[in-house]
Amino acid sequence: MREEILTEIRILINQIPEYRERFGNNDIRASFLDGYFQTIRTFFCSYYHLETEDIMTKYQEIYQRNDFNRSSIDLYIRGHKNILNSFLIINSWSNFELCITLFVDAVLPIDKKNELLAIDYNRLHKIFKDIDISEDIDQKLRKYIKFHLVHVPINNKYGKLFKLIKQYPKNRDKKQDIKFLDFFGRLRNCIHSNYIYYGREQKEFKFSGVRYQFLSGKLVSQKPAVDISIFQLTRNLKQIFMALIENIEYGLEIYDPSIELIE
């Protein structure tokens, strides 16, 4: 796993300045890559710090004991790694979600953006299609129109982007990429319930030789449980984002407000 992550980090080190030159220093297309780089670099440094002897010193300091050895803290180390995997999933998805929102806001015409903002409003109208709705009730229903695209479900937003692409990259499967995003979003949401899935339907997804199973009221199952699989998921997320931005032309800079965090 170490070399695979290092390879991706080195690729990003070259990609980021290339994208900044193409799109601008403050453009979300470059910021996405930088955000992913920051996430996996942090993951890499933290994960492999756990392999050093310095971690023993930390445990001695915390518990004020000197009788720790490597085998006595193996279970704790596993817990640390699980937390780092959660960090990798959450931060990769948050970076993806923000950049998708800003990208959609820039590239979609106003009527398509309004469709997204009015998704719930239009669904309610369909429910009451056989009822003569008064103007007063309609005004109340308009409260369900979203204020900003950030409040629109992510699958609706990237769904609009996929429809803009006439010729999807030949080395990728559009339908499979859409299924992957649905899976990744579900996995990320399960982190907020300690990996317990509470969905109505049983779900299953296979990726890179690993099967992920979602059964209501049970922990998400990952078989085989190999550490590299989580990193591979986030790398595929990055590749899907790049497939979108490389195949949807937009010549202007798309400003990333989060740039101000580092100023």
pLDDT digits (tens, 9 = 90+) for 56-71: 888 889 989 888 888 8
**CA separation, residue 118 to residues 65, 74, 129, 151, 227 (Å):** 60, 51, 16, 11, 41
The pLDDT > 70 percentage for the chain reads 95
262 or 48: which carries more pLDDT confidence? 48
Q: How far apart are CA 240 and CA 237, in angstroms?
A: 5
Q: Can you give the residue ranges of every domain in the chain?
A: 2-262
Percent of the chain whose predicted confidence (pLDDT) is above 90: 73
Q: State the pLDDT at residue 202.
A: 94
Phi and psi at 221, nearest 5°, equal: -95, 135
145-175 pLDDT, tens digit per residue, is: 888 999 999 999 999 999 999 899 999 999 9
> Measuring CA to CA, which residue among 117, 93, 94 is closest to residue 104?
117
Q: What is the pLDDT of residue 171?
A: 92
Of residues 83 and 73, which shows the higher confidence score? 83
What's the CA gap between 244 and 28, in Å, rounded? 13
Instruction: Check residue 225 and report its DSSP letter.
Output: -
State pLDDT tens for residues 204-222. 999 999 999 999 999 999 9
Judged against a pLDDT cut of 70, whether residue 29 lies above it is answered with: yes
Q: Specify the pTM.
A: 0.92
CA torsion angle 87 93 97 99 (round to 10) = 80
Of 68, 75, 36, 33, nearest to 53 (Cα)? 68
